[in-house]
Amino acid sequence: MIRLAASHARIGMELAFPIVDAFGNSVCDVGTRLNAEQIARLPMYGVREIFVNDPVLDDVPVEPLVPPELEAKAALAIRTVLEEAGLANSVEPALIEQAVQPGYEMARPLFPAVIGEVNSAPISPSAEYEYLMPARAASLTAMLAARMGLDMDTTGQISTGALLMDIGIARVTAGSNHEYEKHPVFSYVFLKDLPFITPVTASAVLQHHERLDGSGFPQGLKGDDISMGARIIAVTESYYSLISSRPDHESWPRQDAMEYIMAFGGELYDSEVVQAFVRSVPAYPTGVLVRLDNGETGYVVDAGIGQIGRPTLRMVADRNGFQNDEFFEIRLTDEQHRHRIVEDAVEYG
């Protein structure tokens, strides 16, 4: 199957995966052949990418790390908590407990082995960022924790911290930077006395904006004074924050965001976490069409996770745009192809 941005959907394309909105509501069923009306509705539902059947890649599966339904369940739970927090100085423990469950559920499929690709796409729609980003960050957080060798229970606790990290934002006065820097404390206060919130989760929530060099907030902690859970979330939250468009932030290209995180490994971000991030997040996901610097195009059949921008490609067209008589594959990590550079993703920006 091929993967492309929803903005490049065309009439007659057959869906390989069902389309759901950010909160898990069905938009189109698997096998649907898209028509003009359905395509026009995709932006309304915040659909960023679609998967369609194509004989060019009928032998290449795309397996999500976390089912979209689980991510949607988490986002819905966080929305409920934030809405409640915005109306009162407390939140019913039962509502928070509902938001805790998806954090542990995201961890379970990663053991004994991590299988599948994390959803590395920007958050959309931007109006739902406060609910959707924690859910997306939680899945990536779980993946990094598992890759770093943490056990399933600890991974679930840290993933839960990512889900709950921003519930204190409901108490922040709009436009107040000073109060914004207190939101981890507000989140912590909501959680600290609940019997189902562990110290690992609570410290991750309180410290997720701390940075190794002491430049973070709310306490200005440095180095080993920052919990490992918070160090992991610092990377995952930063990544989705950088690549996602919001009224006060222009989105960065994914590769630029990855380069930024790598550049500040050991300074702002924990080096071990950064290495796990590089090994986990594909610059060009499986199923995406990319263009090389010589103009040739090919589909990603192996994302080459851990080799930034060096996937295995099934070459489909020459530099002039003419389809190849026979498709062939190249690995950009091989010596004979090491000077070939992926210039951009086609139909995926």
Q: pLDDT at position 30, please? A: 96
Q: How many domains does one find in the chain?
A: 3
Give the model's confidence band at 175: pLDDT under 50 very low, under 70 low, under 90 confident, else very high.
low
Whole domain around residue 29: which residue ranges?
2-53
CATH number at residue 44: 3.90.105.10
184 and 306 belong to one structural domain: no
Average the pLDDT over 229-234 and give the result.
98
30 and 99 belong to one structural domain: no
Query: In the chain, which residue ranges form alpha helices assigned H by DSSP?
Result: 36-41, 68-87, 93-107, 129-147, 152-164, 177-180, 183-191, 199-207, 228-243, 254-263, 271-280
37 and 74 belong to one structural domain: no
d(CA 295, CA 332): 15
92 and 150 belong to one structural domain: yes
Has residue 61 been placed in a domain? no
Residue that is written with structure tokens 């339904």 in the block: 69
Highest mean pLDDT: which range of 11-25, 87-101, 167-181, 315-329: 315-329
- Cis status of the peptide bond prior to 112, with omega within 30 of 0: yes
d(CA 56, CA 37): 27
100 and 217 belong to one structural domain: yes
168 and 216 belong to one structural domain: yes
Has residue 63 been placed in a domain? no
Q: Quick check: 349 pLDDT over 70?
A: no
Q: Tokens representing 39? A: 């395509």
Q: Tokens representing 335? A: 């010596």
For residue range 296-332, list pLDDT tens digits in order: 999 999 998 767 778 999 999 999 999 999 999 999 9
Has residue 164 been placed in a domain? yes
d(CA 69, CA 240): 19
Q: pLDDT at position 41, please? A: 93
156 and 255 belong to one structural domain: yes
Which element (helix H / strand E) includes 224? none
d(CA 60, CA 132): 28
214 and 262 belong to one structural domain: yes
148 and 258 belong to one structural domain: yes
Average the pLDDT over 61-71 and give the result.
87
Q: pLDDT at position 174, please? A: 66
| Average pLDDT in the chain | 93
339 and 301 belong to one structural domain: yes
- pTM here is 0.90
Portion of the chain with pLDDT greater than 70, in percent: 98
49 and 74 belong to one structural domain: no
